[in-house]
Structure 1
Amino acid sequence: MIDPRRLRVLRALADHGTVTAAGQALHLTPSAVSQQLAALESEVGQDLLHRKGRRVWLTAAGELLVEHATAVIAELDRAEARLAAYAAGETGRVRVAAFASAITQVVAPAIVALRASAPGVSVVVHDAERSLPMLLDGEIDIAVTVEYWASANEDDQRIVRTPLYAEPFDAVLPPGHRLTDRAEVNLSDLAADDWVAPLPGNPCRDVLVVACEGVGFTPRITHTSDDFHAEAALVAAGGGVALIPRTALAGVEPARVRPIAVDPPTRRVFAAVRRGREDHPLILAVQSALGEAVTQSC
């Protein structure tokens, strides 16, 4: 095994030409330099130096090893720099969980921005509707999620929340629906309809159920999907009506989309981190990029 410290001595000798000058560069005595070079020759089993009196110069094997020493030393220096940056919080990996439309609208643009503003930050993304349990279990570093009735309480001391954006849900109607002639609809007007909704456990389903119950009815859910485009397709096929967040309506025929007239259901999106980590430099960098992405896209 070659001692990399001795490779530095060999590199210094190649750079400075004499044992004395190499020692001065490395803050070693000439005797210590000679001992290190002799030990290196023993490690590699070959003569690395020609010696004549006090003069020394590299053999062909020594010149070959200097080439490798240059590459090895550069890698060691790079490792030290990366470790120092990691210790200072300037580089490392941040795990983010978010629901699909937030990934599209906010997380993905934030990753692009981070490549320029904080190239040492690597973001790993997980698609998840309910990400707070993952955060509290330590599986992720940042949860981008929605406030809903079953979510962790706002005063939960384990997490710190940062609001990102809020958006209303709009009604999506099937072709020929009785309310398509209206500019906007009341949620109560849809009490008699069948509904297309997310699966149980999805926060957006909770928003739908709570909003409908707030105006006096329980939605009769006949079709389910956690994909908003699939929901819109089921509505277009006559499967019922749906409430879909506005940012998820790309590609849906505008003629079938109607705002809710009074107190539209709204999803409030926030980023959450575990308390105690909110000032970590890596997390701050990602949070800042998420905020900038919101400003640009929402």
Structure 2
Amino acid sequence: MIDPRRLRVLRALADHGTVTAAGRALHLTPSAVSQQLAALESEVGHALLRRHGRRVSLTAAGELLVGHANAVAAELERAGATLAAFAAGTTGRVEVGSFASAITQVVAPALAVLRSRAPDVALRVRDVEGHASVPLLLDGEIDLAITEGYRLHADDRRLTRFPLYTEPFDVVLPAAHRLAGKAEVDLADLADDDWVATLPGNPVRDVVELACSQAGFAPRIPHTSDDFRAIGALVRAGAGVALVPRNALRCDLAGDGPAGDGALRGVPVRGAAPLRRVVAAVRRGSADHPLVALVRDALVEVCRPVAGRG
């Protein structure tokens, strides 16, 4: 009989790639992780990992067993959801991980909806970049992740996702920029400018680099920040230009924030603008948990006007 607790260790090793990182995710020591893996290999009679220095990868047997482990985890999530539904669960806590502008645009309004509609549901919000929220979701640290759709693998059967909203990227320019008065901007016209962008690994950085590449150039990026307000401040100071999701600087550009002095211009991209498709993801099997469903429905409800503004 395979111990399902050891399957969780194997899944963590597959997700995180090192014994130390897997232990950190599971709150176990590296030696405990190694012991659990050795016991699992003894149970199944196969080597499950290959070691490459500190990193590990799955053998063919390991890949096969992880597929079953994911199915077991989904069934356990589904069992929990069924029991919670049986108990008409309307009391409890849901942990949500989201990047900052989605917190502003949809998570905070959804929290307000839940307080009036389901006051016994406690929504806990964690500010985390989209690319970092999915590992937290898979590790069980949060119950729902709001992230960019293109960061999720379509064939990842561990997750169930549902769309929230889509927003275009706009060029952000200092008011004195030569193109600030334009109704639209060709990205190619900014090939010689300095750029302000998010850090490598942030999915917004990927969009910026791809859009510029499609326009025929590689952006020169001397300034970086994962905080869009900081990016706006740098653009306002004349440090460069930026390409950001429309909602990320909406409050500033509307005139009631630091850009209210007219020092920034948000200008649409001419032609097919890059898009950010924002989705919510939950662990497979938990989508129908009544508490998760309440949060999901509130998010979808408040997203309708946000999607319309894009």
Q: Normalised by the shorter chain, which TM-score bucket?
A: 0.5 to 0.7
> Under a length normalisation based on structure 2, what TM-score does the superposition of the two structures give?
0.65
Q: 2:53 corresponds to which residue?
A: none
1:143-184 CA-partner distances (Å, limit 9, x unpaired): 011123xx2312211111100000011101123222123211
Q: Matches of 2:181 and 2:244 in 1, distance apart?
A: 19
Out of 265, 279, 282, the residue aligned to residue 273 of structure 1 is 282
Does the 8 Å CA contact 2:168/2:275 hold for their aligned counterparts?
Answer: yes
Q: 1:143 corresponds to which residue?
A: 145
Give the superposition deviation at 1:89.
2.0
Give the superposition deviation at 1:106.
0.4
1:291 aligns with 2:292: no
1:99 aligned partner, one-letter code: F
RMSD: 2.0
Give the number of the structure whose alpha-carbon radius of gyration is greater.
1
SS in structure 2 of the partner of residue 185 of structure 1: coil
Q: Matches of 2:173 and 2:276 in 1, distance apart?
A: 20
Give the superposition deviation at 1:241.
0.3
1:79-112 CA-partner distances (Å, limit 9, x unpaired): xxxxx99943221110100000100110011111
Does the 8 Å CA contact 2:90/2:291 hold for their aligned counterparts?
Answer: yes
Give the superposition deviation at 1:215.
2.0
Q: Matches of 2:153 and 2:159 in 1, distance apart?
A: 10
Give the superposition deviation at 1:229.
1.3
Q: How many residues align?
A: 214
Pair 184,289 (structure 1): closer, same or farther in 2 beyond 3 Å: same
SS in structure 2 of the partner of residue 256 of structure 1: strand
Give the superposition deviation at 1:276.
0.7
User: 1:65-214, aligned counterparts within 5 Å?
Assistant: 87-129=87-129, 130=131, 131-148=133-150, 151-214=151-214
1:39-94 CA-partner distances (Å, limit 9, x unpaired): xxxxxxxxxxxxxxxxxxxxxxxxxxxxxxxxxxxxxxxxxxxxx99943221110
Does the 8 Å CA contact 1:173/1:180 hold for their aligned counterparts?
Answer: yes
Runs of 5+ consecutive residues of structure 1 not aligned to the other structure = 1-83
Does the 8 Å CA contact 2:169/2:246 hold for their aligned counterparts?
Answer: yes
Q: 1:256 corresponds to which residue?
A: 265
Does the 8 Å CA contact 2:168/2:273 hold for their aligned counterparts?
Answer: yes
> Under a length normalisation based on structure 1, what TM-score does the superposition of the two structures give?
0.68
Question: Structure 1 or 2: larger helix share?
Answer: 2
SS in structure 2 of the partner of residue 231 of structure 1: helix
Q: Matches of 1:235 and 1:248 in 2, distance apart?
A: 14
1:269 aligned partner, one-letter code: V
Q: Matches of 1:245 and 1:226 in 2, distance apart?
A: 13
